[in-house]
Chains A and B, each alone.
Chain A
């Protein structure tokens, strides 16, 4: 693809922001990203702003707070994939030559709905059931097929909680190192998934500046691919909130092909983990590891920052937190931070290529490959 760079990132603390208006969170993240890029808002030629629950016109309110420059501002909604969908639009805007810099912003308040915000009404017979049900069903099946014990999930989730202890922006900060046993003993949500294996819904915002020119600390966009649902006879039409693993496989295949990158080159991964089983299933679907090796990595710290397949080094949705539309841009922020070598105590040793993955309710999937 035409050379395009991610040159600035901004992430607010994830957690409870009860008294902070949603637009303020978006503005805060955008200003952090602009400062990180060394650009003024006047340099931005187009804005794509993502949220799932925001009141209508929030995108314009956020952008007008940044400056009345008259640039196109587009609101994006694709559930938990929204942020990466917005980023793909921003990358396309720059790659097409429409502008030389674009801004992708994601913001969400999930702990208390913003006045005027939108709560999706349950649709269909399954709309009122918790989304964790789908991931618990996948979890049970994977245990059955692989012959693994549920403690594998405990180990992967413990890894995420422990990674978050080194992320000052994360929502969950365990005072002491978390063990797999502790994860297994927490309250059961849906067998075999316990509370500590499931995401924590929080408030927060994140933003990324895309540029046509390479700037200090820029990271290259190698590919970004997005897919809607594809036929999969193994996936019920009614019930699951998100698409099947085969959708992730296809999206990743397109991204690897577009980038000319092999899965074995990936040095750091940030994937959507509404529950820990999604991390396991997605690592397999991305083609980054086979089942036997995945179990070995899970129980031997192989998914930590210093492991062989560092995954969700910021704590993921389980511990960093999950402010829906903002989450994917925070994931991209983590990959950029890792590729820059700025991740401090959670730094992966010299990653060259990173992968960000998002999967949203309704069946949207995005895979981005970034490199130095």
Chain B
């Protein structure tokens, strides 16, 4: 498992249909582009689509056979 990385949301969207990944987002899911210290990444996001500028971290989470990079917003 990789270390958590700090990230800031640049943009996001919520897709109100099932994710193609078994065990994740069966009722809809969010995707975001987030800026880390080194690059802009496309990642899945936890919960609703976070607003641009939202700060948080990228957490690697096991889902079935996959390790998903998931953006989790900091608690406000």
Contacts and interface: CB of A to CB of B under 8 A. Distances in A.
A130 B29 CA distance: 12
Interface string B37-63: 001111000000100100000000000
Contacts of B40: 233-236
A138 interface: yes
B42 A191 contact: no
Contact of A144 (B11, B19, B20, B21): B11
B33 interface: yes
B26 interface: no
Contacts of B41: 236, 238-239
A180 interface: no
Interface string B6-47: 000011111110011100000000011100000111100000
Contacts of A140: 11-13, 49, 52
A126 B42 contact: yes
Main SS at interface, chain A: loop
Contact of B15 (A144, A190, A235): A190
Given A136-B13, A234-B40, A236-B33, A191 B49 contact: yes
Interface residues of B, number: 20
Nearest to A138: B11
A129 B29 CA distance: 11
Given A235-B40, A239-B42, A240-B42, A133 B13 contact: yes
A191 B14 contact: yes
Nearest to B12: A140
B12 A188 contact: no
A128 interface: yes
Nearest to A188: B16
Given A140-B49, A193-B13, A233-B39, 5 more contacts: A126-B42, A133-B15, A137-B33, A140-B12, A238-B42
Interface of B: 10-16, 19-21, 31-33, 39-42, 49, 52, 66
Top 4 A-B pairs, shortest CB-CB distance? A239-B42, A141-B11, A136-B13, A128-B20
21 contacts: A128-B20, A133-B13, A136-B15, A137-B13, A137-B42, A138-B11, A140-B13, A140-B49, A141-B33, A144-B52, A190-B16, A191-B16, A191-B49, A192-B13, A233-B39, A236-B33, A236-B39, A236-B42, A237-B39, A238-B42, A240-B42
